[in-house]
Amino acid sequence: MSAYRVRELCREGKLKEAYTMAIVEYNVSPVNIYNKRSLGWVYYAYCKQAAEEVDVATFVTNVKGVKHLKLPPTDLMIPNALLWCYVKFFRNLHLQERPNYEDAYKVFESLKDLCFTIPSQAFSALVEQLHKVYKYTPLYIQMMDICLPWLRSEDFIPRIFNGKTTMPLAEQLYIGYAKHILLGEASINETWGYIQYTPNKQLAQNFLPTLNY
C-alpha cells in the first residue's frame, strides 16, 4: 500500500513527501526488493524533473541513488525508464542557446555501471540525441565508440517523418564519425579552453569494417 502511495505522490509532483516515505521504509529493510523499487521510482521522478530543467547536479545525484540500491541485474524496469530521462535531458540540452558540454558530459558518464536493456528503442533514441548535441564537439568519437556497437537493425532503415523519408540513424552516425576521423583524435585541456587534433590512422582502420554491415 505504501509503495502505491509513493508512486501516487510522485505522479502528483510531491517528490519530497514521496522521498520521505520511501526512504523511511528503505532504511527499515534495505534488502527488501519492494522498498528498493519504491525508492528507485522516487529517484526516477527526480531525474525526470531534472531532465526538464537540464539540471546536471540533480540528475547525476539521483542516478547515483538508483545505482546505490543495487537492484538485481534482471530488474530493469526502473533503469529502462531512466533511459528516457537521459533522452529528454539531452534533447532539452540541444535546444539551449549555449549548452554547457563539459558539465553535461557528467550526465553521459553517469550511464556507467547502470544496467539497462541494449539494444533498445530508448538507447537508440539516446544515441540520436547525443549525435545532435555532440556532433560538432571533440567528444564525438569518444561517445560514439561506446554507442555504435549497440544500434538496432531498425536504425539502419530509412525512417518516415511527416510523410518524408529521412536518412537512417546509423548512416547519420557513420557520417558524423567519419568527419571526426578526418579531423583526428582530439585532446582537450583541463579547462576545455584548448583543443588539439592529432591524426590517428588506427581510428580509421578500426572503423572501416563497420561499414560492411
Cβ(146)–Cβ(188) below 8 Å: no
Cell representation of residue 78: 526502473
pTM, full prediction: 0.89
pLDDT band for 103, please (50, 70, 90 cuts): confident
Residues 92 and 52 sit within 8 Å (Cβ to Cβ): yes
Cell 534488502 belongs to: 31
- Distances from the Cα of 131 to the Cαs of 21, 34, 37, 136, in angstroms? 39, 37, 32, 9
**Structure confidence at residue 212 (pLDDT):** 60
For the chain, percent of residues with pLDDT exceeding 70 = 87
Segments making up each domain of the chain, as ranges? 1-117, 120-213
4-44 tens-digit pLDDT: 899 999 999 999 999 999 999 999 999 999 999 999 999 99
Residues 6+ apart with CB under 8 A from 118: 150
Q: Of 55-59, 115-119, 148-152, 183-187, which range is least confident?
A: 183-187
